[in-house]
């Protein structure tokens, strides 16, 4: 994997120099299996194809991939089990992504997408059941890594709930970012650096209608009061919004040829954290986030684009107050 820059030095100025800038946690990853067939699916008939793709899937894993390309030290952890778990580990090795997952007895998910002339069909596994002992092991992995910042992203496996995320956030001095469903954000009790809802998640987390950018700003202010230092909202084609304790900054989306919006939210969070890892202001981190997201929607799937000139391209992003 090509890197945008050498790994960024730690900027916290303290003694914690051994841990990574960012450690991502994906507790319910999946192998994303995508295949294309030429004809329609018909009951009782066998469909055949030579076109199949297997990718390591999971929001935290995506963030590790994007941050690594941006020059940020960002290993991945979480839960893996069974043959699909081994496939994810092998894929991360191939991409040069450091990882230290907890092995579980259950089997990591396989999510299958079938692309045919008459539509797109999805079959997703429910995923494994995870217990308290597995969470204990994950907490210890994070403590050993001792990151400056922790990212917990994606859905949770069966058997655990919001208290597992709070445990990770409270287990050490790191700042924690979270990217999970809107109703889930309501159940968190720890203090968090940032959450990254999309428009629908922002509405679900606050009970507000979020139709305009001003609606999003009002909802984000409400959500921020539930233990988040920043709320970074991804608004699709409308761009992005960042709410702090005293300000709200709006950045419209850059004009690019949109190929695929998969991974756009993960890219937005990755760009924001990359800006913070460089010791930059939250305004510049938001600009970085918008540029990174624009690059990602310009390529297919969760393919990692070239980020070589991302930091030089940030002046294209206009910021205004909300």
Q: Is residue 122 part of a domain?
A: no
pLDDT recorded at residue 134: 97
Q: Is the Cβ–Cβ distance between 302 and 154 less than 8 Å? A: no
pLDDT recorded at residue 302: 67
Q: Is residue 300 part of a domain?
A: yes
55 assigned to active site: no
Residues 6+ apart with CB under 8 A from 155: 27, 28, 127, 180, 181
Q: Is residue 49 part of a domain?
A: no
Q: Is the Cβ–Cβ distance between 260 and 238 less than 8 Å? A: no
Q: Is residue 47 part of a domain?
A: no
pLDDT recorded at residue 133: 96
- Interior/surface letters 284-307, b for 16+ CB within 10 angstroms, e for the rest: bbbbbbbbbbbbbbeeeebebbeb
Output the tens digit of pLDDT for each of the chain's 322 residues.
434 443 443 334 344 457 999 999 999 999 989 888 888 888 898 988 888 888 898 999 999 999 999 999 999 999 999 999 999 999 999 999 999 999 999 999 999 988 888 888 889 898 899 999 999 999 999 999 999 999 999 999 999 999 999 999 999 999 999 999 988 999 999 999 999 999 999 999 999 999 999 999 999 999 999 999 999 999 999 999 999 999 999 999 998 888 878 889 999 999 999 999 999 999 999 999 999 999 999 887 667 888 888 999 998 999 999 8
Total-model pTM = 0.90
Residue 183's domain spans which residues?
22-28+58-103+129-321
- Report d(CA 81, CA 29) in Å as an integer: 10
Q: What is the tally of structural domains in the chain?
A: 1
Q: Is residue 9 part of a domain?
A: no
Q: Is residue 121 part of a domain?
A: no
DSSP calls for 49-63: -SEEEEEEE-HHHHH
Q: Is residue 271 part of a domain?
A: yes
**Catalytic position from the list 55, 73, 266, 313:** 266
- Report d(CA 213, CA 250) in Å as an integer: 8
- Report d(CA 253, CA 236) in Å as an integer: 8
pLDDT recorded at residue 306: 86
CATH code of the domain containing 174: 3.40.1190.20
Q: Is residue 38 part of a domain?
A: no
């Amino acid at each position: 994997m090509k890197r945008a820059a050498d790994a960024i030095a730690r900027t916290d100025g303290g003694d914690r120099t051994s841990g990574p800038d960012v450690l991502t946690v994906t507790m319910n990853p999946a192998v994303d299996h995508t295949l294309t067939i030429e004809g329609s699916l018909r009951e009782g008939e066998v469909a055949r194809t030579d076109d199949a793709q297997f990718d390591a899937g999971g929001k935290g894993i995506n963030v590790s991939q994007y941050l690594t390309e941006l020059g940020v030290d960002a290993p991945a952890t979480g839960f893996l089990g069974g043959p699909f778990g081994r496939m994810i580990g092998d894929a991360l090795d191939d991409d040069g992504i450091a990882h230290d997952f907890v092995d579980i007895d259950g089997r990591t998910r396989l999510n299958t997408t079938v692309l045919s002339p008459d539509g797109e069909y999805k079959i997703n596994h429910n995923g494994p059941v995870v217990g308290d002992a597995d969470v204990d092991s994950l907490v210890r992995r994070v403590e050993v890594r001792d990151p400056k910042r922790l990212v917990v992203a994606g859905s949770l496996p069966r058997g655990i709930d919001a208290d597992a995320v709070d445990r990770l956030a409270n287990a050490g001095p790191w700042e924690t970012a979270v990217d999970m469903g809107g109703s889930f954000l309501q159940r968190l009790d720890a203090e968090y650096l940032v959450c990254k809802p999309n428009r629908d998640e922002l509405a679900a987390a606050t009970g507000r209608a979020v139709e305009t950018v001003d609606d999003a700003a009002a909802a984000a202010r409400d959500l921020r009061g539930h233990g988040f230092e920043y709320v970074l909202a991804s608004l699709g084609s409308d761009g992005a919004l960042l709410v702090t304790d005293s300000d709200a900054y709006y950045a419209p989306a850059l004009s690019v040829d949109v190929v695929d919006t998969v991974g756009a939210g993960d890219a937005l969070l990755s760009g924001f954290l990359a800006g913070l890892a460089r010791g930059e202001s939250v305004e510049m981190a938001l600009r970085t986030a918008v540029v990174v997201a624009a690059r990602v929607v310009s390529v297919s799937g969760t393919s990692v684009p070239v980020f070589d000139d991302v930091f030089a391209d940030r002046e294209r992003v206009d910021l205004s107050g909300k």
